[in-house]
Structure 1
Amino acid sequence: MELFTIRGGKPLSGIIPISGSKNAALPIIAATVLNSGITRLYNVPMIQDVLNLCEILRLWGSRITVDQSAHAVTIDNSKLVIQINETIFGLVRKLRGSILLVGSILAKFGSLTIPLPGGDIIGARPLDVHFDGFQSLGAEINQTGETVTLSVPKGLTGSSMVLKEPSVTATENLIMAAAGAKGETTIRLAAIEPHVQDLCRFLEKFGVGFDGIGTHWITILGKDFSSWSQDIEYTIIPDSDEAMNLSALVAATRSEVDLRGIRPEYCEAGINKLQEIGVNVSLVETSMIFRKPTSGYRAAKYQCGLYPKLMSDQIPPFAVLATQANGVSMIQEWMYEGRLGYVTELSKMGANAMILDPHRAIIVGPTSLRGAELKSLDIRAGMTMIVAGLVAEGETTILDAQIIDRGFEAIDNRLRAIGADIIRSSK
């Protein structure tokens, strides 16, 4: 188990470059399965989830070169052979994003058997939206215990479908499957998050036709990928979720920090919320510039919604900011019923906080936080604990820091570069 030890209570200063998007990198790497040629990806975040997905492909015969310093990944899938063994089973179980391999493998090879994936435990997150969509495209599905077999004996055929809910991973998975289907596929109530749009732009490089990118009604014109091979290069978008998480960190610690390399159009809701609270932040081209606040912060309602609203992965660290604001703040997390566990952890530090039900919590501020031993319950909760540790007086220990590594690249090193007292150790 990895630990972070933080001594907080000090302002930070400097520049933090924003990483490439985790939630774009995973589906885009999965989509490279469609290409038997060489795909070169840039601005790839060097996080554990990305490395695990690359390792699954490598075990299937992909030749993969990872240049961590350049944030580049080169993938040659010309020798790819899909098979399941105990090693791959273990990797898939650790990585919920591995479900994204299903759509591209069905489109390229026509069948696969895969264990049900793992990942963060922050809600039920059923896969029925994925499977309903695959069946609409002609897939036959058989689940035996923790293993699912999918096949398309007659090939994938374009169809019109309405999703039960605008699931991001289901939308991405079905887009990849539809990319290899005969004819035209229409997906209504599709997710429109920035990383969904980035996947579509990537697949356009593969010759897939799209209409309605960035809308809830998207049309995909598929093509035959059975022997398709091209050399492709693509640069992944910056991570707007990381930008918002770090924005909460900078604001909560009342620091003077520049976040560099954002896409402003993807961060509009977060910037508006920060200004509503009273955070001294300005936007200059692709940078968010934070300066010392000129007055106290105001309480606010943090309600996750569908893009372009504040999204579920962006909100948790704002709970720490709420402890420093004047008044009663509410967090409303309608998407995942298990996500608010970080509120209980904040209470260990002296936060005046209460979980009202599985989807709502209130936080009364301002309160002084004190160091404590905390759990990293999931990626975003872990980041929330880092923010709390930097705000708190005294020493904070965060358990299971390796969970944070799944979503944030070298976060301890990046925070030390702006003056944070954070040390990594193993237990």
Structure 2
Amino acid sequence: MKFIIKGGKTLNGAIDLRGFKNSATPIIAATVLTDKTCVLNNMPRVGDVFKLLEILKSMGSKQRWISEHSVEIKNDELEPEKIDQNSLNQIRSSILLLGPLLARFHKFKFITPGGCKIGSRPIDTHLESLKDLGASIELDSQTGIYNAELRELKSREVCLEEFSVTATENLLMLGFAHSFAIKLAAIEPHVFDLIDFLRKLGMAIETGNAHSFKVGPGKSENSKIEHSIINDPIEAGTFAILAAATKSRIDINGIGENNLTSTLRKLKEFGVDYKIANNALMIDGAKSVLRASKVQTMPYPGLPTDLQALFGVLATQASGSSIIFDTLYESRLKYIDELKKMGADVAMLDSHRAMITGPTILRGAKIDSLDLRAGATLIIAGLIAEGKTELGNIEQIDRGYEDIDGRLRELGADIRRV
């Protein structure tokens, strides 16, 4: 499928944030830890969520949607040996099942997960941290399937090789069955959302030291676990950049201001006019005087890599030359080639850095969504551009943005799915 976008229109109105995919997927995985009924509210209806729920179903998970954004999950009769390995290979977040399945069932077979093709994202950090704790993990080279087993810890402390969010989340969930300390842990908002859920399951988790956690089993008197997923800070940044780039007035409802510190700072550096009131971020693109800035991704609380491409398209409309530096993934700048097709003035400095000079008039073109965030970036480019843009491979966008075209049409965007 593809989007047909006719650009050049000023948008106006308010948009409500949905639940955060990056928070929803680890919490869905964490329901594997318990046989109690779990009700997850504010669940985004996006591709990665649906796929992960399907993977749980393949093991015998019982699920039902009790409202548009609330799902009930009961995992009292799981059979991990029946897991759909082909589905594991389709989404990156399937790696999040490693920790909870080892905690509950002590062994698990899995194939290397899939996901966005944004560069080298090996699962070594996950595997090495588990091995450090005493896990046995062997790869069958003929089938590509790993055999993992962990029954007793040989260490009570593990230090991650890097600030890996998903590795941190896997170790947190493993703590449901074992007591140990995690050092060099990621501290993103969705990590703490997972911690809140795990505490409802009864886990004991200490978070006092920076980038360090102590985890262990605990007790819960709850017969049913209920939790609301936090709203999506990446959506908030996406819609803020959309408003600024299209010179539009958009109110973004349901923000968590504490989760947007680096994003708001970068918007200010770019000259974006905004106000915050009543849990809403109000962007006035018409009053914004966009100027070049440096965009460098960092572990939280730094600027998230998921917003790098979005700020890249904003740079095409800013006065001067902006440096875009993605410190994590060497292929996350591939969207630059699509922007060039639309007339963007870009010089690639190396596989991690680009210089974008603006302001530039973009023109409609046939382009492709190369990954989830690049897809959202190119939607904005199409809405800025003169003429018609055809954006293909939109299934990537549906993985993380719920009904993006319908919600944009409510703001006045000319975008349709064909």
Question: Do the aligned partners of 2:273 and 2:288 also contact (CA within 8 Å) in 1?
Answer: no
Question: Do the aligned partners of 2:298 and 2:304 also contact (CA within 8 Å) in 1?
Answer: yes
Q: Which residue number in structure 1 is paired with residue 92 of structure 2?
A: 96
Alignment partner of 1:42 is 2:33: no
Cα distance change of structure 1 residues 230 and 134 upon mapping to structure 2, 3 Å threshold = farther
- Spell out the pairing of 1:114-263 with structure 2 (5 A cutoff): 114-145=110-141, 146-152=144-150, 154-156=151-153, 159-181=156-178, 184-212=179-207, 215-223=210-218, 230-263=223-256
Shift, 1:271, TM fit: 1.1
Q: Deviations over 1:70-107 (max 9, x none)?
A: x111001011111246xx12211111100000100000
SS in 1 for 2:319: strand
Cα distance change of structure 1 residues 214 and 316 upon mapping to structure 2, 3 Å threshold = farther
Question: Do the aligned partners of 2:246 and 2:384 also contact (CA within 8 Å) in 1?
Answer: yes
Shift, 1:250, TM fit: 1.2
CA distance in 1, matches of 2:228, 2:96: 19
Q: Deviations over 1:299-325 (max 9, x none)?
A: 000100011111100221111110111
CA distance in 2, matches of 1:26, 1:385: 25
CA distance in 2, matches of 1:362, 1:139: 44
Q: Which residue number in structure 1 is paired with residue 101 of structure 2?
A: 105
Q: Which amino acid aligns with 2:115?
A: G
CA distance in 2, matches of 1:286, 1:156: 44
Q: Which residue number in structure 2 is paired with residue 357 of structure 1?
A: 350
Question: Do the aligned partners of 1:35 and 1:229 also contact (CA within 8 Å) in 2?
Answer: no
Q: Deviations over 1:234-278 (max 9, x none)?
A: 011111111112211111011101000010000111112112211
CA distance in 1, matches of 2:190, 2:124: 21
SS in 1 for 2:287: coil
Task: List structure 1 segments (4+ residues) > 6 angstroms apart after TM superposition.
Answer: none
CA distance in 2, matches of 1:387, 1:43: 25
CA distance in 1, matches of 2:275, 2:219: 47
Question: Do the aligned partners of 1:124 and 1:336 also contact (CA within 8 Å) in 2?
Answer: yes
Q: Deviations over 1:3-27 (max 9, x none)?
A: 0010011110111111111101000
Cα distance change of structure 1 residues 170 and 253 upon mapping to structure 2, 3 Å threshold = same
SS in 2 for 1:179: coil
Q: Which residue number in structure 2 is paired with residue 20 of structure 1?
A: 19
CA distance in 1, matches of 2:341, 2:285: 28
Cα distance change of structure 1 residues 8 and 237 upon mapping to structure 2, 3 Å threshold = same
Q: Which residue number in structure 2 is paired with residue 65 of structure 1?
A: 64
Give % identity: 43
SS in 2 for 1:65: strand
Q: Deviations over 1:346-404 (max 9, x none)?
A: 00000001221111011000110000011100000000110100000100001101110
Shift, 1:137, TM fit: 2.5
How much is the aligned-residue C-alpha RMSD, in angstroms?
1.6
Q: Which amino acid aligns with 1:11?
A: T
* Structure 1 portions without partners, runs of 5+: none
Q: Which residue number in structure 1 is paired with residue 6 of structure 2?
A: 7
Shift, 1:136, TM fit: 2.3
Q: TM-score, normalised by structure 2?
A: 0.96
Cα distance change of structure 1 residues 34 and 79 upon mapping to structure 2, 3 Å threshold = same
Q: Which amino acid aligns with 1:351?
A: A
CA distance in 2, matches of 1:127, 1:276: 35
Q: Which amino acid aligns with 1:198?
A: D
SS in 2 for 1:248: helix
- Spell out the pairing of 1:248-287 with structure 2 (5 A cutoff): 248-287=241-280
Indicate the larger mover: 415-424 or 274-283: 274-283
Q: Which amino acid aligns with 1:273?
A: K
Q: Deviations over 1:111-139 (max 9, x none)?
A: 11011111111111111111111122221
CA distance in 2, matches of 1:179, 1:266: 26
Q: Which residue number in structure 1 is paired with residue 293 of structure 2?
A: 300
Q: Which residue number in structure 1 is paired with residue 73 of structure 2?
A: 75
Q: TM-score, normalised by structure 1?
A: 0.94
Cα distance change of structure 1 residues 257 and 126 upon mapping to structure 2, 3 Å threshold = same
SS in 2 for 1:90: helix
Q: Which amino acid aligns with 2:329?
A: Y
CA distance in 2, matches of 1:84, 1:224: 29
* Structure 2 portions without partners, runs of 5+: none
CA distance in 1, matches of 2:260, 2:216: 30
Q: Which residue number in structure 2 is paired with residue 336 of structure 1?
A: 329
Shift, 1:179, TM fit: 2.2
Number of residue equivalences: 416
Q: Which amino acid aligns with 1:171?
A: T
Of the candidates 341, 346, 366, which is equivalent to residue 373 of structure 1? 366
Question: Do the aligned partners of 1:134 and 1:177 also contact (CA within 8 Å) in 2?
Answer: no
Question: Do the aligned partners of 1:245 and 1:315 also contact (CA within 8 Å) in 2?
Answer: no
Cα distance change of structure 1 residues 221 and 392 upon mapping to structure 2, 3 Å threshold = same
